[in-house]
Amino acid sequence: MTLHRRDFLLAGAAGLAGLVRPAWAGKGRACPRVVVVGAGYGGASFARHLKLWAPQAHVTVVEPQPDFVSCPYSNTVVGGLNRLQDITFPYTWLKAAVDRFVADRVDGVDPRRRTVHTVGGLTLPYDRLVLSAGVELMFDRVAGYDAAAQRTIKHAWKAGPDQTGVLRRQLEAMPDGGVFVITIPVQPFRCPPAPYERASLVANYFRRAKPRSKIIILDGNPDIVSKKALFLAAWKKHYGYGTDASLIDYRPNSLVVSVDAKAMRVATEFDEAQGDVINLVPPMRAAAVTHLAGARTGEDGTWCPVDYHTCESTEVPNVHILGDSISSNLSKAGALANNTGKLCASALADIFRGRAPDPAPVLTSTCYSATTDRHAVHVATVFRYNPKENLMEVQPGSGLSEAESEAEFSFMGGWARNIWADTLGLPMGYRFTNRV
């Protein structure tokens, strides 16, 4: 028997996607049903691009929040450079792009029946399920961080009025000469440079408005985990780091194990710190919905291993994982969530046409961090799939800024507007209100 080129390509698709024949074929339906849980950088990007590249797919998005509030760039709100409304966007154009938008929360997944159940009582059948709900914060890993403590002690690692907005108001109300304590969990966690950027922008605010105040950084890691040299240079230049007058007191190997919200005190294994404002960021794991689907199995059951060609779970067929929940060498960042959304959309568009997904997929990530109200730095990385190592390998040309600059601060604003527009489908001429 002769193996023709078309048959070879279809066989390749079977090897990569697990299917030659579409999953919905023979069931009397003309289009695949795709349910997307979460409309952040990954889920919104996926849903919008899948409808562009595979318009025959029926796409349902499930998202409980009324608006998109950007976690990337939220430190500019904490530091007083922007307002919360400047990083908040409607889902208007995403809703117009997809077939159905469900304002609800998922409380059950049945991979065998291929259904999703919502708190509001809906049962949504799927051929492909895409989970992009970010991370779950493990409050129980910090003694005393119960529901009552969470009303006072904010993490602000999921942006919104009750987190980002409250933390900003707490800093504004703090007296000059007060102490701001920020804690950092052990890696991996969402957006590795973000805690150090937050400390930088709060120091920038204190320098201007509360110059006698102080920041204590309790880092559970042995050292600064991202952009170390750049942050240290900025702290020394602008905030007196390394001197007796430093605004920033950085303490490595200081994993917080308990909090006393009434006394406004946190404890590490070796020390304690008291603050007027405490920003306690707990350990993280893949979003709770990935556990409901049975996909949260890697690294002691905290993250989700995937096939890098399609972002399909290696544990649960027809379930795809995007963004922060993935177990990999990729950073947990908004740009990578956006990129994995498009990678997955491209792969499913190929599969829906009976074609093999890209055998060597590429992901890119650019991450800016502000160091003052006029300076920023970046890291830019290109990843390509390495089949021998089964990982996304960093490519030549990736790297960091040589130094902070005002030009990069300007580029940071352009990056933010571009990724917001790309993720949400904001129209040309959309009136952004962010000031930086």
Which residue ranges make up each domain of the chain?
Answer: 1-16+30-64+103-138+284-357, 139-283
- 308-331 average pLDDT score: 96
Residue 54 has pLDDT above 60, yes or no: yes
- 58-74 average pLDDT score: 98
Other residues' Cβ atoms within 10 Å of the Cβ of residue 225: 19
Residue 17 has pLDDT above 50, yes or no: no
Q: Is the dihedral of CA 133, 137, 140, 141 positive or negative?
A: positive
Torsion, CA 30, CA 36, CA 42, CA 44, rounded to 10: 80
Q: What separation in angstroms does the CA of 159 have from each of 85, 154, 164, 319, 359?
A: 11, 11, 5, 26, 36
pLDDT of residue 177: 98
**Higher confidence at residue 320 or residue 14?**
320
Q: What angle do CA 230, 187, 370 make, to 5 degrees?
A: 30
Closest alpha carbon to 248 in 264, 221, 224: 224
**φ, ψ at 205 (rounded to 5°):** -65, -45
- 161-179 average pLDDT score: 98
- 309-317 average pLDDT score: 97
Which of 167-181 are b and which e, b meaning 16 or more Cβ less than 10 Å from the residue's Cβ?
A: bbebbeebeeebbbb
pLDDT category, 19, cuts 50, 70, 90?
A: very low
Residue 141 has pLDDT above 90, yes or no: yes
Instruction: Give Cβ neighbours of residue 258 (< 8 Å, ≥ 6 apart).
Output: 142, 143, 144, 266, 267
Residue 164 has pLDDT above 90, yes or no: yes
Residue 190 has pLDDT above 70, yes or no: yes
Question: DSSP secondary-structure letter at 309?
Answer: T
83-115 per-position pLDDT tens digit = 999 999 999 999 999 999 999 999 999 999 999
355-414 per-position pLDDT tens digit = 999 999 999 999 999 999 999 999 999 999 999 999 999 999 999 999 999 999 999 999
Residue 120 has pLDDT above 50, yes or no: yes
* CATH number of this structure's domain 1-16+30-64+103-138+284-357, picked from the four choices 3.90.600.10, 3.50.50.60, 3.90.228.20, 3.40.50.1580: 3.50.50.60
Instruction: Give Cβ neighbours of residue 394 (< 8 Å, ≥ 6 apart).
Output: 381, 382, 383
Share of the chain above pLDDT 70, in %: 93
Cis peptide before 161 (omega within 30 of 0): no
pLDDT category, 29, cuts 50, 70, 90?
A: low
pLDDT of residue 396: 94
pLDDT category, 11, cuts 50, 70, 90?
A: very low
215-244 per-position pLDDT tens digit = 999 999 999 999 999 999 999 999 999 999
pLDDT of residue 300: 75
pLDDT of residue 411: 97
CATH code reported for the domain at 139-283 = 3.50.50.60
- 172-198 average pLDDT score: 97
Q: What angle do CA 210, 216, 218 make, to 5 degrees?
A: 155
pLDDT category, 301, cuts 50, 70, 90?
A: confident
Question: DSSP secondary-structure letter at 366?
Answer: E
- 404-425 average pLDDT score: 98
Determine the Cα–Cα distance for residues 271 and 291; give it in Å rounded to an integer: 35
Is the distance from CB of 275 to CB of 177 less than 8 angstroms? no
Question: DSSP secondary-structure letter at 319?
Answer: E
Q: What is the mean pLDDT of the chain?
A: 93
Share of the chain above pLDDT 90, in %: 90
- 62-83 average pLDDT score: 98
Helices (H), 225-302: 228-239, 288-292, 298-301
- 288-297 average pLDDT score: 96
Question: Same fold for the domain at 1-16+30-64+103-138+284-357 and the one at 139-283?
Answer: yes
